[in-house]
């Protein structure tokens, strides 16, 4: 009798869904997340849940240790508390964005500061997403997965795409931007924002449409969040910033300057 169940297990075909789950699980195990959190109990809880999802996880208890961990091995994503000893989260994110090796690394900020103004400061510094304490662990894990999906961009067509307009060249296969031939470092969110604007081919995109395309469907952020990312993007584009044009009361478009 025991041979029958064994035979049925051997003969059971693997469904496409099973194959997909195995592939996603394998990808997750190759991805490393650095948790920068000074509350030891919370750091342990985050690490436990992140590792349960199949990711590799390291923990740093302050800003200086976080930079040392990044120097030893670049993570695929940084989960960063804003209020840290030794070196604040704001300073950590500023240094990460200045480092060419780390500049495109997605950063999810965690903080007890829940005011919209504080969130906007986080985005202005270069955060890709923002979660206020206390938070749902499921929400944090969902945001991590969304940021990694956006970074990896599973669309093969997009991976070989090269967008060009005037002095701006965006190579999505390399995640590289050049302006007048000079390389420019972008965060993952800024890169996705620029891609969305350039790919619209001059069409006007509402702030709501940009939030869905850049931040992800169902992400609860204000219109002002996109404005902050656009401001940061324009700053990095320098003399080419005028290609990103504001359509008052509606949103943004990418067109040649007039």
| Paired strand residues for 56 | 32
Strand-strand pairing, 168-171 and 176-179: antiparallel
CATH number of the domain that residue 185 is part of: 1.10.10.10
pLDDT tens profile 186-197 = 888 888 899 999
pTM over 0.85: no
177 in any annotated domain: yes
Both 119 and 169 in one domain: the answer is no
CA distance 5 to 230: 59
Structure tokens at 232: 């940061």
- The tens-digit pLDDT sequence of the chain (258 residues) is 444 343 333 334 444 444 444 444 444 447 999 999 999 999 999 999 999 999 999 999 999 999 999 999 999 999 999 889 889 888 998 899 888 888 889 999 888 766 666 666 777 777 888 888 888 898 899 889 888 877 766 444 444 478 888 899 998 877 889 999 899 988 888 888 999 999 888 888 888 888 888 876 555 566 678 888 899 899 999 999 999 999 888 889 998 887
16 in any annotated domain: no
* Residue 226: predicted pLDDT: 85
Both 110 and 177 in one domain: the answer is no
Both 69 and 162 in one domain: the answer is no
Both 174 and 146 in one domain: the answer is no
219 SS3 class: coil
Both 42 and 143 in one domain: the answer is yes
Range of the domain at 78: 27-152
| Paired strand residues for 164 | 169
Structure tokens at 163: 């967008």
Both 84 and 201 in one domain: the answer is no
CA distance 211 to 224: 10
Structure tokens at 6: 């064994």
The string of DSSP codes covering 47-114 is HHHHHHTT-EEEEESSHHHHHHHHHHS--SEEEEESS-SSS-HHHHHHHHHH-TTTTT--EEEEES--
Both 88 and 166 in one domain: the answer is no
pLDDT tens profile 158-207 = 444 788 888 999 988 778 899 998 999 888 888 889 999 998 888 888 88
| Angle 45-225-38 from CA coordinates, rounded to 5° | 25
Q: Tell me: cis bond preceding 201? Omega within 30 of 0 counts.
A: no
Both 115 and 224 in one domain: the answer is no
1 in any annotated domain: no
* Residue 146: predicted pLDDT: 81
Q: Which of 106, 137, 152 is the last residue of a domain?
A: 152
130 in any annotated domain: yes
189 in any annotated domain: yes
CATH number of the domain that residue 140 is part of: 3.40.50.2300
- Find the Cα–Cα–Cα–Cα dihedral 219, 52, 54, 32, rounded to 10°: 70
Both 217 and 141 in one domain: the answer is no
Q: Which of 129, 152, 175 is the last residue of a domain?
A: 152
Count of the separate structural domains present in the chain: 2
User: CB within 8 A of 200, min separation 6: which ones?
Assistant: 253, 254
User: CB within 8 A of 94, min separation 6: which ones?
Assistant: 125, 126
């Amino acid at each position: 009798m025991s041979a029958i169940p064994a035979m049925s297990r051997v003969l059971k075909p693997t469904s496409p869904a099973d194959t997909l789950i195995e592939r996603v699980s394998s990808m997750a195990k190759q991805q490393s997340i650095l948790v920068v959190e000074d509350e030891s109990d919370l750091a342990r809880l985050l690490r436990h849940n992140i590792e349960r999802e199949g990711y590799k996880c390291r923990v740093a208890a302050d800003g200086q240790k976080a930079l040392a961990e990044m120097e030893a091995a670049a993570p695929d994503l940084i989960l960063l508390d804003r209020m840290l000893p030794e070196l604040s989260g704001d300073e950590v994110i500023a240094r990460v964005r200045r480092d060419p090796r780390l500049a495109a690394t997605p950063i999810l900020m965690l903080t007890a500061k829940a005011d919209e103004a504080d969130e906007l400061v986080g985005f202005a510094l270069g955060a890709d997403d923002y979660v206020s304490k206390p938070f749902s662990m499921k929400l944090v894990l969902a945001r991590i997965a969304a940021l990694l999906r956006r970074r990896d961009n599973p669309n093969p067509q997009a991976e070989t795409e090269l967008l060009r307009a005037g002095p701006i060249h965006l190579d999505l296969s390399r995640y590289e931007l050049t302006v007048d031939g000079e390389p420019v470092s972008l965060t993952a969110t800024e890169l996705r924002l620029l891609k969305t604007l350039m790919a619209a081919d001059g069409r006007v995109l509402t702030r709501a449409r940009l939030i869905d395309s850049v931040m992800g469907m169902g992400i609860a952020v204000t219109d002002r969040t996109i404005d902050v990312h656009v401001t940061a993007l324009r700053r990095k584009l320098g003399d080419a910033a005028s290609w990103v044009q504001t359509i008052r009361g509606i949103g943004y478009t990418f067109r040649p300057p007039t």
